[in-house]
Chain A
Amino acid sequence: MTRLPALTHQRYWLSAALLACAAPHFARMPLWISLFVLLLLGWNVLQTAARLPAMPRWLLWGIALAAAAGVLAQFHTITGRLAGTALLLTLAPLKLFELKTVRDEVVLLLSSTFLLLSQFLFSESMGSAAWAIFAFWLLLLAWTGCQEFASLARHPRQRVRWAGRLMLQALPLMLLLFVLFPRIPGPIWGLPPDKNSSISGLSDHMTIGNIADLILSDAAVFRVQFHGSIPPLQQMYWRGPVLWDFDGRSWTAPPLPSMRPALPQNAQPLRYTTTLEPQESRWLFAMGAPLALPPDSRLTGDYQLLYSKPLKQRTRLEISSAVGDTLPFAPLSDWEEQHALALPQDGNLLARQLAASWKGSSPRRIVARALNFFATQGFSYTLTPPRLGPDTVDDFLFRSKQGFCEHYASAFVFLMRAAGVPARIVTGYQGGEYNPLGQYWLIRQSDAHAWAEVYFPDQGWTRVDPTSAVALERLTAGIGHAVPASQLPAVLTELDSSWLKRSRLTWDMLNTRWNQWILGYDQNRQLDLLKRLHPMLASWQGMIAALTVALMLTTLVLARQILHRPRPPEDPAQRLYRTFCRKLSAIKLERRAGEGPADFAARAGRLRPDLAADIQAITSLYIGLRYRTGAGDLPTLRQRIRTFRPRAI
């Protein structure tokens, strides 16, 4: 086994590489693990720098067992994503203390590499990838310091160059593998999601205050790219859960009977691509009524577009919708009539009285009176409404008069039902932020909204947004303009500062591209791309074959480049002499590979005495250029060789 040369520098490189590989995990690990790793790394550097005695073996074992026990106590297991990574994270730095042979160093480097890879179990973002590239470069740097490289690459600059060159050489292989390696639908590692990582969003249940909580989050929900015309901002209602049942405090979605929703006829289609961030729910947040169902999706009777399974991965879909205030007309079914008019048995008497006074008018008139009520009775739009008593609707309508979209929607639907107009609550998102750099719309949790849909006998379900009666700016300019700045969470006020806004937009655009082209390169896209290149490629056999051939070719090209260094530019005299030798070989005077020019001239002169003088003259000109100083006469040599025309006998 090869003993290591005592290079203290190498220790520092190894520690730095390990730190770079471990660093991405620090944020998701319990604090003691990060501190433990940093402590070990620091101790190792100190030990190397101060030439302290090596740690005794029993102590190393003790620390390792204690670390494993700590991980077990923390996670109650040592397998699985988080616990497994934690175990590796705590044990890898211990290897630094027993570097005796090249093998030890390689083990440490390989475990660092594995540690680096494990960060992708948690995050596949662009930042993670960029960090991985940097950390891998550090790893290669450390790698060039071990094994037989060590004696060759003592100088750091040489090692930096080597590591860079190794990465560049790996680049074509990486691209090939990325494009051609057969994709498996879904992530390769079928890891169960961590229990505590629930992603909050809209649900089939709305208690007053739910949506106001969502507004505080700037997390992206989905991004939309329009193909063709873009509707005005106040038309952008992204429909999510539809809520029918009210118990006095919260709205819920009942199990729906099977209803076939009518698809819109001869409507102007609006086509767009939506890319949904991973979430626990299945709503696709379509705008209006979809014209055709995207793959793997289903449309409920109340026009909720649902995906076949929870959207746990980033999903990209093409949707075309009919946009407008109304949904396609269909007669009101019994189930709908029953649920759209249902109210709790008791409570909210004042609201019921108010609605009763409107009874008898046409539904449109009732809607107008209700909106007018909101507009004229001193209602205001706020993110921090006061707490409501048990009769939420009465309390809001006649006492606090301050509320958020969900208050307005809830009260409005209550009034409609009490006045005998079928109505329901729709939750979803409204508006979005346009990113001019990426030309897409970004919809965040802070765009969450609730509005109402009312059934008119002649028109069908029609959208009515009571919030518009109070705060029209909410719909036309976003939430930032609808409430006083003091009420806004920090994330929303920041958006106003222009350079900050710009950098946020740029970052989001880059991330979107990354998601779209790198992470979104799934089985379907791969097949699409390869089919366009060649139909034979679009099967896994074809991919494997193409991959094998391409890898072989790339390796050959790289090997050629590595083995055959670029030659220095050829001496012009040498080129001319080669021409001369070709002319002689045409008359069967072949120069042997190892034959010197003077020897060859002498031999050729003996064989062809008639040419001896010419051959001798040319050869001595050549020797003058090639082997002497200051005796060069290139033009004469060129001229002599050009006019040299030997004939065979």
Chain B
Amino acid sequence: MTVTLQPVLAQLNSVILGKEPSVRLAVTCLLAQGHLLIEDLPGVGKTTLSHAIAQTLGLSYQRIQFTSDLLPADILGVAVFDRQQGGFQFQPGPIFAQLILADEINRATPKAQSALLEAMEERQVTTEGKTRPLPEPFFVIATQNPSHQIGTYPLPESQLDRFLMRISLGFPSPEAERELLRGMDRRVMLQQLPAQLSADELKTAQQAARAVHVSNALLDYLQALLRQSRQSEFFSLGLSPRAGLGLLHAAQAWAWLDGRDHVLPEDVQSVFPAIAGHRLMVADAGKMSAQPAGWILEQTPIP
């Protein structure tokens, strides 16, 4: 079975205008079986993007709005007493869906955040002494406001590391914005979006991406990037082995989207900023340019 994701990309780009690179990264993240964090200002299309992805891929979709009074039970579900049955009945929470949009994740308290992040890592939920698996595939898109805004609980490093990628959308270009203003209402459009892929096809695509060939030369380069991040004096925290593994899988997915059976250093470079950006802790912000990931890419020669 050969699967192509071109129709998926085309449909997403018709909804999110002028954001091809971000859309492509989001799809890559999904293919690499990682979770996605979108950090941006309100109203640039974060929710629209995640909703469009769910619709296009034909995934069951739940949205959780994170607020400061959100409790873990609001995410995971609660046991409710059933009179007819005469016992407690588990009411699954919104987490039991294939694609979760966790909106404004950094507005909730750490307690609620960790309930979600546990589920992301384990791909199962344990409540009231019983473990329940989450559906397959399971994909979380979290959005957060830039952390300097009022009323936020920034995610700690350990939890940021669970997101494979962090992307931002940014304001659209004037042409894209004009088209948006002239075009159809996005809410209506989203409801009309046909599914372009079945769950099986998605699984096949994910497996195919994992099988893309990685040469030793490429691993040399990848390790050189990791080493650079760990040895540089500018970062108090280098990239973890988990980040390295994610980088590899994402580069494979990127190459697969390109229709290649092998990974090139360019693939690594394309996904690197999205993967490294939220994991690198800049030790001395004064000395570092705004783009630490870009700096590492420039400083690391390709062997």
From the candidates B264, B269, B300, B301, name the one contacting A623 in the complex (CB within 8 A).
B264
Is A596 in contact with B299, judged by CB distance below 8 angstroms? no
- Bound-state CA distance A177–B173 (Å) is 71
Determine the chain A residues whose CB is within 8 A of the CB of B218 once the complex forms: 627
Given A593-B301, A594-B299, A595-B302, the answer on whether A574 and B266 have CB atoms closer than 8 Å is no
The verdict on A592 contacting chain B, using a C-beta distance below 8 Å, is yes
Interface string of B269-303 (1 = CB under 8 A from A): 10000000000000000000000000001111111
From the candidates B217, B269, B301, name the one contacting A627 in the complex (CB within 8 A).
B217
Determine the chain B residues whose CB is within 8 A of the CB of A595 once the complex forms: 302
Chain A residue nearest to B215 in the complex (CB): A627
Is A593 in contact with B262, judged by CB distance below 8 angstroms? no
From the candidates A594, A626, A628, name the one contacting B297 in the complex (CB within 8 A).
A594
From the candidates B217, B261, B263, B298, name the one contacting A593 in the complex (CB within 8 A).
B298
The verdict on B265 contacting chain A, using a C-beta distance below 8 Å, is yes
A410 CB to nearest chain B CB (Å): 85
The verdict on A597 contacting chain B, using a C-beta distance below 8 Å, is yes
Chain B residue nearest to A602 in the complex (CB): B266
Is A597 in contact with B300, judged by CB distance below 8 angstroms? no
- Bound-state CA distance A599–B302 (Å) is 12
Determine the chain B residues whose CB is within 8 A of the CB of A626 once the complex forms: 215, 217
Taking CB atoms and an 8 Å cut-off, the chain A residues in 576-635 that contact chain B are 592-599, 623, 626-629
The verdict on A571 contacting chain B, using a C-beta distance below 8 Å, is yes
How many residues of chain A are within 8 Å of chain B by beta carbon? 15
- Bound-state CA distance A597–B264 (Å) is 8
- Bound-state CA distance A574–B301 (Å) is 13
A566 CB to nearest chain B CB (Å): 15
Is B302 in contact with A596, judged by CB distance below 8 angstroms? yes
- Bound-state CA distance A596–B213 (Å) is 17
Is B262 in contact with A628, judged by CB distance below 8 angstroms? yes
From the candidates A571, A574, A594, A599, name the one contacting B300 in the complex (CB within 8 A).
A594
- Bound-state CA distance A627–B261 (Å) is 10
Taking CB atoms and an 8 Å cut-off, the chain A residues in 163-210 that contact chain B are none
Interface of B is mostly: mixed
Is B266 in contact with A598, judged by CB distance below 8 angstroms? yes
From the candidates B215, B266, B303, name the one contacting A599 in the complex (CB within 8 A).
B266
Determine the chain B residues whose CB is within 8 A of the CB of A574 once the complex forms: 217, 303
- Bound-state CA distance A571–B263 (Å) is 18
B165 CB to nearest chain A CB (Å): 20
Determine the chain A residues whose CB is within 8 A of the CB of B302 once the complex forms: 593-597
Is B217 in contact with A596, judged by CB distance below 8 angstroms? no
A42 CB to nearest chain B CB (Å): 44
B97 CB to nearest chain A CB (Å): 38
Is B262 in contact with A629, judged by CB distance below 8 angstroms? yes
From the candidates B213, B261, B298, name the one contacting A594 in the complex (CB within 8 A).
B298
Determine the chain A residues whose CB is within 8 A of the CB of B297 once the complex forms: 594
Determine the chain A residues whose CB is within 8 A of the CB of B300 once the complex forms: 593-594
- Bound-state CA distance A596–B260 (Å) is 16
- Bound-state CA distance A571–B219 (Å) is 14
- Bound-state CA distance A629–B297 (Å) is 25
Determine the chain B residues whose CB is within 8 A of the CB of A627 once the complex forms: 213, 215, 217-218, 262-265
Interface string of B16-37 (1 = CB under 8 A from A): 0000000000000000000000
Given A623-B264, A627-B263, A627-B264, the answer on whether A594 and B269 have CB atoms closer than 8 Å is yes
Is A629 in contact with B269, judged by CB distance below 8 angstroms? no
Is A597 in contact with B265, judged by CB distance below 8 angstroms? yes
Determine the chain A residues whose CB is within 8 A of the CB of B299 once the complex forms: 593-594
- Bound-state CA distance A628–B215 (Å) is 7
- Bound-state CA distance A597–B299 (Å) is 16
- Bound-state CA distance A26–B265 (Å) is 65
Determine the chain B residues whose CB is within 8 A of the CB of A623 once the complex forms: 262, 264
From the candidates A592, A593, A597, A629, name the one contacting B215 in the complex (CB within 8 A).
A629
Taking CB atoms and an 8 Å cut-off, the chain A residues in 537-584 that contact chain B are 571, 574
Taking CB atoms and an 8 Å cut-off, the chain B residues in 139-173 that contact chain A are none
- Bound-state CA distance A592–B299 (Å) is 10
- Bound-state CA distance A498–B18 (Å) is 98
Is B301 in contact with A594, judged by CB distance below 8 angstroms? yes
Chain B residue nearest to A571 in the complex (CB): B217
Chain B residue nearest to A592 in the complex (CB): B298
Determine the chain A residues whose CB is within 8 A of the CB of B213 once the complex forms: 627-629
Determine the chain A residues whose CB is within 8 A of the CB of B217 once the complex forms: 571, 574, 626-627
- Bound-state CA distance A595–B299 (Å) is 10
A499 CB to nearest chain B CB (Å): 58
Counting from the closest, the 6 A-B pairs by CB-CB distance are: A596-B265, A596-B266, A593-B301, A628-B262, A627-B215, A626-B217
- 12 residue pairs bridging A and B, Cβ less than 8 Å apart: A593-B299, A593-B301, A593-B302, A594-B301, A597-B264, A597-B265, A598-B264, A599-B269, A623-B262, A626-B215, A627-B215, A628-B261
- On A, residues with C-beta under 8 Å from B are 571, 574, 592-599, 623, 626-629
Q: A596-B264, A623-B264 are in contact. List 13 more A-B contacts (CB 8 A).
A: A594-B297, A594-B301, A596-B269, A597-B265, A597-B302, A599-B269, A623-B262, A627-B213, A627-B215, A627-B265, A628-B215, A628-B262, A629-B262
